[in-house]
Amino acid sequence: MYGLINEAMRRHVVENAGPAAWSSIALRAETSQTFAALHYYDDSVTYALVGAASEVLDAPAEDLLRGFGHYWSTRVGPESYGDILGATGTDVASVLRNLDEMHARLQSLYPELRPPSFDVVETGEDGLDVHYRSERAGLVPFVVGLLEGLGDLYGTPAAVTHDAVASDGTDHEVFHVRLTASGAP
């Protein structure tokens, strides 16, 4: 993953638990304290940081990933990619429908980017099924936080549930997103 991910994780931990906690996490993960945003790091570095954060902060990795997903949607995305995000859509549903296009645009900045893929199916006036495909395992809680964060970002609270695997026999995850305010699809 690119250093931008790890650096955002550092910011999130420092804001919530302080710089000493981050120092302990980096030491336990046997990584540097900071990361170059445009440098590609092996995925094992990110996974090591999550594992170390779970130990240092005495919190389940799933909870940390969910919180980080929310932070990514509400802070990192708007700060780092505000123009691209704004061009992607003006509400939760339109942003979700255009995430793959946004990732394609970002590949000019990040040539080694291996983004997930998102397909969106409307399920009613206030619901969406989000089909998520990724070569990376273990990021379901991050996606839940990401989806919830998008709801908060656009003023449309999102209740998110997860099906373990799609029922059509393909290997991907399905998230049910119920939008609970104006802005539903």
Cα angle vertex 110, ends 107, 115, to 5°? 60
Q: Which 3 state secondary structure label does DSSP give 182?
A: coil
> Which residue positions in the chain have pLDDT lower than 70?
164-170, 181-185
Token pair of 176, please?
Answer: 């049910």
pLDDT in tens, 70-87: 999 999 988 877 777 777
Q: Is the dihedral of CA 171, 160, 106, 75 positive or negative?
A: negative
Give the integer Cα–Cα distance in Å for 41 and 5.
Answer: 10
Chosen CATH of 64-179 out of 1.10.3720.10, 3.30.70.980, 3.90.1520.10, 3.40.920.10: 3.90.1520.10
pLDDT of residue 185: 46
Instruction: Kindly report the backbone phi and psi dihedral angles of residue 179, in degrees, each rounded to the nearest multiple of 5, phi listed first.
Output: -90, 130
Q: What is the pTM of this model?
A: 0.88
- Sequence spans of domains, the chain: 3-59, 64-179
Compute how many other C-beta atoms are within 10 angstroms of the C-beta atom of residue 72: 21
